[in-house]
Chains A and B, each alone.
Chain A
Amino acid sequence: MRWLFLCAVLVFLLCCFVFWDIASKGFGVVSLEFLLTSPRKGMTEGGIFPAIVGTIYVSLVTAVFVIPFGVATAIYLSEYARDTWVTRLIRAAIRNLAGVPSIIYGLFGVAIFVDGLGMGPSLLASGLTLGLLTLPYVVAAGEEALRHVPGSYREGALALGATHWQSIRTVVLPVATPGIVTGVLLGLSRAAGETAPILFTGVAFYLRYVPSSVWDEFMALPYHLFILATQHHAIHQVRPLAYGTALVLLGFVFSLNLMAFWVRKKYSVYGQQ
């Protein structure tokens, strides 16, 4: 048993090391100026403001798409679908979607959104592509949250004459909401760090301005980091900027996770029944 414990400690230390490495090298770079200005002089100076805004925007587009579709699918699967081979097929398909490599989503996004639907490379196309990537997480988390709602609540509502939909809308969904929100936030935090799905669908190498509509291209933190770390003409010179960007991305993803944790703790009513 001791070596299992040592393994766990080792993994923990590795995580700490990665975080420490990025934090220590990036910390000196991150300043208000770094956060609030655009890159200058071929990205060798200045900040990452457009990339931060782009990541936030694309996450919002993703959320706007994935919340209604994901939650509706979860409600259908958990509350309405009878257990037939069709629903089992849908469930299996959704589960497999979660295992698809993200570059495949990128190609799919190009084929469907950028070319097929003529959106061109844009916030919208990227957001929708990331939405597809996030969908299985949201559906799974939604189903899980709905399944955890005690049957006694549903019976209580129905026994008072509520229709099935009324019982879902007024009793089941409110109880499941913290779990659903948690799933959405975790899904978004994964999407925010992805590069491949946005690579061909809308992310830009360098833009002086933040996007003004969903049809514009945008900069994003993970792609900006990729450029600074591997594609730049003066890689060594911009290394500190790369670490700063990494730290900001990490902070963004971290705060989404923290929010998910907080929502789960604060609003959880499971276990009270």
Chain B
Amino acid sequence: MILSLLISNKIEIQHLDLFYGAKQALKSVSLSIPEKSVVALIGPSGCGKSTLLRSINRMHDLDPKVRLDGEILLDGHNILHGNTNLNKLRRRVGMVFQKPNPFPKSIYDNVAYGLEVNGIHDKTRIRAAVEESIRESYLWDEVKNDLDKPALDLSGGQQQRLCIARAIAVEPEVILMDEPCSALDPISTAKIEALILRLKERFTIVIVTHNMQQAQRVADFTAFMYLGELIEFGRTSAIFEQPNQELTRNYVSGHFG
């Protein structure tokens, strides 16, 4: 593709099959994700968006019934290879979950957590990174006096921004987001969308969303999935305005899903 000649790809997924036991959830999915861009994964419920997303940081390793075939190249190296160091991989590929999941610790400790488990113990360095990540996540002014308060006392939207701060504190290269706004009100959603647009200057972002407007607002590229297959992938404007596939047209115009 011309696209891949012009822009270097951070992630290349090649012929990825994924089985939950006997059930195939991904069918030969191939997808190239350019560096420092936002890619939206859309499609009806159960089509495999979360499954694909969780393959990229090997979250499926927790589930013994999952089997993967194919390749996922991160900077050209196949992360599905058996000798991949999962801890290093997950430090490079961060994740923000659908339901905000801060730890039952203080706000400060939540953001410091990733640094500590990755072997950083220099207190001044941690303090600086915590502050910077919280600022980056547009949360600083709301929590700067409460850093030692429990994170679970924050509102849902604040918790989700804290989870983003927690993810970027370890300076990942890629951030995976699985419907990060689906549990949030419109104002919190707008804040997180603004945040995503800023973060893409530094990170490659893959976001699952059910919200078509959101995909159009934040994503440079959009992938439409259906029943475990990748139906169409391209620039977001192309997917929404002139899709090549009948299925895509029906989905983005709201005929099903």
Interface residues of A (CB under 8 A from B): 82, 150, 152-163, 166, 170-171, 174-175, 269, 272-273
Q: Which of B90, B95, B101, B104 contacts A174 (CB 8 A)?
A: B104
| A158 close to B97 (CB less than 8 A) | no
| A158 close to B90 (CB less than 8 A) | yes
A157–B104 alpha-carbon span in the complex (Å): 12
Whether a CB of chain A sits under 8 angstroms from the CB of B194 is no
A18–B64 alpha-carbon span in the complex (Å): 53
**Residues 50-86 (chain B) with a chain A CB within 8 angstroms:** 57, 59, 62, 64
Whether a CB of chain A sits under 8 angstroms from the CB of B114 is yes
B204 to chain A, nearest CB (A): 16
| A153 close to B117 (CB less than 8 A) | no
| B117 close to A162 (CB less than 8 A) | yes
Give the residues in chain A near B114, CB-CB below 8 Å. 160-162
A161–B116 alpha-carbon span in the complex (Å): 10
A148 to chain B, nearest CB (A): 13
Q: Which of A159, A162, A269 contacts B104 (CB 8 A)?
A: A269
Query: Which chain B residue has the least Cβ–Cβ distance from A269?
Result: B104
A158–B94 alpha-carbon span in the complex (Å): 10
Q: Which of B57, B87, B166 contacts A163 (CB 8 A)?
A: B87
A166–B94 alpha-carbon span in the complex (Å): 17
Q: Can you list 10 A-B pairs with a CB-CB distance of less than 8 A?
A: A152-B101, A154-B62, A160-B114, A160-B167, A162-B114, A166-B117, A174-B104, A175-B104, A273-B99, A273-B101
A160–B94 alpha-carbon span in the complex (Å): 6
Whether a CB of chain A sits under 8 angstroms from the CB of B251 is no
| B99 close to A152 (CB less than 8 A) | yes
A79 to chain B, nearest CB (A): 11
Majority DSSP secondary structure for residues of A touching B: helix
Known A161-B114, A161-B118; judge A156-B152 contact (CB<8 A): no
Give the residues in chain B near A175, CB-CB below 8 Å. 104
Number of B residues contacting the other chain (C-beta, 8 Å)? 26
| B64 close to A153 (CB less than 8 A) | no
A160–B96 alpha-carbon span in the complex (Å): 10
| A160 close to B117 (CB less than 8 A) | yes
* Number of inter-chain CB pairs below 8 Å: 71
A82–B94 alpha-carbon span in the complex (Å): 27
Give the residues in chain B near A160, CB-CB below 8 Å. 90-91, 94, 113-114, 117-118, 166-167, 170
Give the residues in chain A near B91, CB-CB below 8 Å. 160-161
Q: Which residue among B64, B87, B116, B167 has the maximum number of chain A CB atoms within 10 Å of its CB?
A: B87
Q: Which of A150, A152, A155, A159 contacts B94 (CB 8 A)?
A: A159
B199 to chain A, nearest CB (A): 16
Give the residues in chain A near B104, CB-CB below 8 Å. 153, 174-175, 269, 272
Give the residues in chain A near B62, CB-CB below 8 Å. 154-155, 158
Known A82-B64, A160-B117, A163-B117; judge A155-B103 contact (CB<8 A): no
A171–B110 alpha-carbon span in the complex (Å): 10
Query: Which chain B residue has the least Cβ–Cβ distance from A149?
Result: B104
Known A82-B64, A160-B90, A161-B170; judge A155-B101 contact (CB<8 A): yes
| A158 close to B59 (CB less than 8 A) | yes
Known A160-B94, A161-B87, A170-B117; judge A153-B103 contact (CB<8 A): yes
A158–B117 alpha-carbon span in the complex (Å): 10
Query: Which chain B residue has the least Cβ–Cβ distance from A273?
Result: B101
A171–B118 alpha-carbon span in the complex (Å): 15
A156–B167 alpha-carbon span in the complex (Å): 9
Whether a CB of chain A sits under 8 angstroms from the CB of B88 is yes
Q: Which of A82, A153, A170, A269 contacts B101 (CB 8 A)?
A: A153
Give the residues in chain B near A156, CB-CB below 8 Å. 97, 101-103, 163, 166
Give the residues in chain A near B163, CB-CB below 8 Å. 156
Give the residues in chain A near B152, CB-CB below 8 Å. 269, 272-273
Q: Which residue among A153, A156, A159, A171 has the maximum number of chain B CB atoms within 10 Å of its CB?
A: A159
| A159 close to B59 (CB less than 8 A) | yes
Give the residues in chain B near A162, CB-CB below 8 Å. 87, 113-114, 117
**Residues 140-180 (chain B) with a chain A CB within 8 angstroms:** 152, 163, 166-167, 170
Query: Which chain A residue has the least Cβ–Cβ distance from B98?
Result: A152
A271 to chain B, nearest CB (A): 11
**Residues 224-256 (chain B) with a chain A CB within 8 angstroms:** none
Since A160-B113, A162-B117 are in contact, a sample of 19 more A-B pairs with Cβ atoms closer than 8 Å, ordered by chain A residue number, is: A152-B101, A153-B101, A153-B103, A156-B97, A156-B102, A156-B103, A157-B103, A157-B113, A157-B117, A158-B62, A159-B59, A159-B167, A161-B90, A161-B91, A161-B117, A162-B113, A174-B104, A175-B104, A269-B104
